[in-house]
Structures are given as structure tokens and as C-alpha cells.
């Protein structure tokens, strides 16, 4: 039987993840309490988004949830408590850009900017997604349905099958390379009990009353080459993936995992160990 074996949210885009025993599914992605996936984002002083592509040490910023608060840890630096600006007179709008999307976000203030600029070694600002802003997934892949997302690369959730990673690791080991952990691919959901890359062909996944729909293969950038424990590059799996995972659906890019949208079940809770039903779509 197919089983949900991993749940992770990334409160700050491109920083460390928080592994969960359960999460709430919403149209814009997973959340735990009031903390949402990719609710915050780092930007340069011009408002352009920053990721591990430019700053691999972002991987070392480790968020931990304390109720509805987020505590941030970085090696050798003091803990930083992310300020809550809800209802605060300090809320300041900042115009930001994520890929091709331009929108207003909420600047998290000078203390957050100072802490991140210090630990990452470059001037930057932390911004929070403004609930009054709208950002939609590409409707080409959602059958023209308006699907909201926060600061993700493009879709509310990402799924990877455990057997897909096992298949890759077998190929890496056969090539004399080291196997890789799942965190290199930064999924929100990990599932087991389906064949390697069967997620590519799923029409839907039903977890209780929540129905998730895979809509787009996830094209891979250099981030899987970054060790999430050290914030350094290497080893890089993309050369092996290119030999068998070039996907014509995304213009020949290497794909690994599937982007998901919520088709049914807003605010439903999903849990590690939960069995689910799948429907294939070829």
C-alpha cells in the first residue's frame, strides 16, 4: 500500500526545512499551525529573491518551530527569533521579484536584515508574504485554474517517491559515487509503496478527504548538488540524472519529483504513516 513517509515545510525559501509528523494542506501549500511553507524569503537590496543557487550557506539556516513562532539557528551564531509583524505598526511594504512575478511583500525589519546579512555575508532583507498580494501557479499546468502559491519556485507542493531516490542512489553507487539523502531534493511530501518514478504518472493521490493532483514535473537546477548539512557544493547528481531523466514535457530539462496542487480538502490534516490511494493518468 502507498504510504506517506515524509512531510517537510521550508518556512524561509531556500533555507533549512522542518520535518513534521503532520501538516495541514491548503491551496497555497502545507502549513503547521500558522507557519506556512515558503512564508518568508530573502531578497537583495533591490528586492530580487535569493536562493542557495547564489548563497549555498542558506542551507545552514535551520528553522525550528516553537508553537507559532520560528527560531532560527546558524552554526556559531546566536539564536534569532523571527519577529511577528501581524498587526504591528512596523509593517513596511517592499516590492520584490520571484522569477517572473513582481509583488509586494512585508519587510521583516532591521533586526532580521542584520542577522541574515551577518550570517550570510551579504546585504539582504527578509520579507514575509503579504496576504493581500496574489501569486498564482502557471495556469498552463493547472488546466487554467487559479492556484495560489507563496514564495515557492512555482507550485504549492512538491512530491518525491522514495523508490525514485533509491533508483538514483543505485545508479550513483554503481558509478562509484556516494548515495544522497532525500533532503538534496527538498520535497514537501515523500511517499513509498509506489514504483520508481511512478509519481510521474499519478493522476491524483487521496489522503483521507484531501486529494492532491500532480501537475508538472519538477525541472532540476543546481541545488541538488548542494550538501544541505554543510552548505557546500558536491557531489553533483545531475550528470547521472541527465542520462535517463531528461523530460520532453519540460523542454528536455532533468526532472525529479512532481509539483502538486490541492484538488480537494482545504485545511485537512495529513500524517506520516498515512496510507493513500492513487489514480494513474497516462
CATH T-level topology, domain 3-8+138-280 = M1 Pyruvate Kinase; Domain 3 (2.40.33)
Rounded alpha-carbon distances, angstroms, from residue 228 to 16, 102, 186, 247: 8, 28, 9, 26
- Predicted confidence band at 282 (pLDDT cuts at 50, 70, 90)? low
pLDDT surpassing 60 at residue 51: yes
pLDDT surpassing 60 at residue 82: yes
pTM: 0.96
Please give the mean pLDDT across all residues of the chain. 95
Question: What are the sequence ranges of the domains in the chain?
Answer: 3-8+138-280, 32-129
Q: What is the pLDDT of residues 84-119, one digit of tens each?
A: 766 555 679 999 999 999 999 999 999 999 999 999
pLDDT surpassing 90 at residue 281: no
Q: Cα-atom radius of gyration of the chain, to the nearest Å?
A: 18
Cell of 62: 535551520
Rounded alpha-carbon distances, angstroms, from residue 54 to 20, 44, 143, 226, 232: 28, 11, 33, 11, 11
Q: What is the pLDDT of residues 208-257, one digit of tens each?
A: 999 999 999 999 988 999 999 999 998 899 999 999 999 999 999 999 99
Residue matched to cell numbers 511594504: 93
Amino acid at each position: 500500500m502507498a504510504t506517506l513517509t515524509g512531510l517537510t515545510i521550508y518556512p524561509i525559501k531556500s533555507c533549512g526545512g522542518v520535518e513534521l509528523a503532520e501538516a495541514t494542506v491548503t491551496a497555497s501549500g502545507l502549513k503547521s499551525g500558522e507557519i506556512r511553507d515558503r512564508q518568508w524569503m530573502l531578497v537583495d537590496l533591490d528586492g530580487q529573491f535569493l536562493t542557495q543557487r547564489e548563497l549555498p550557506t542558506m542551507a545552514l539556516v535551520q528553522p525550528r518551530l516553537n508553537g507559532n513562532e520560528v527560531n532560527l539557528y546558524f552554526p556559531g551564531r546566536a539564536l534569532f527569533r523571527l519577529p511577528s509583524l501581524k498587526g504591528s505598526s512596523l509593517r513596511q511594504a517592499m516590492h520584490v521579484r520571484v522569477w517572473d512575478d513582481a509583488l509586494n511583500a512585508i519587510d521583516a525589519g532591521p533586526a532580521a536584515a542584520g542577522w541574515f546579512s551577518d550570517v550570510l555575508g551579504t546585504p539582504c532583507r527578509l520579507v514575509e508574504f503579504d496576504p493581500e498580494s496574489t501569486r498564482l501557479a502557471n495556469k498552463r499546468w493547472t488546466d487554467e485554474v487559479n492556484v495560489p502559491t507563496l514564495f515557492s519556485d512555482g507550485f504549492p507542493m512538491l512530491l518525491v517517491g522514495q523508490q525514485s531516490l533509491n533508483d538514483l542512489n543505485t545508479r550513483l553507487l554503481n558509478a562509484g559515487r556516494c548515495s544522497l539523502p532525500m533532503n538534496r531534493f527538498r520535497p514537501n511530501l515523500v511517499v513509498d509503496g509506489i514504483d520508481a518514478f511512478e509519481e510521474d504518472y499519478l493522476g491524483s493521490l487521496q489522503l483521507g478527504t484531501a486529494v492532491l493532483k500532480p501537475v508538472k514535473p519538477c525541472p532540476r537546477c543546481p541545488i541538488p548538488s548542494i550538501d544541505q548539512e554543510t552548505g557546500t557544493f558536491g557531489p553533483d547528481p545531475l550528470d547521472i540524472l541527465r542520462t535517463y531523466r531528461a523530460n520532453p514535457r519540460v523542454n528536455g530539462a532533468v526532472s525529479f519529483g512532481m509539483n502538486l496542487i490541492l484538488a480537494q480538502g482545504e485545511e485537512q490534516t495529513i500524517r506520516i504513516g498515512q496510507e493513500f490511494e492513487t489514480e494513474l493518468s497516462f
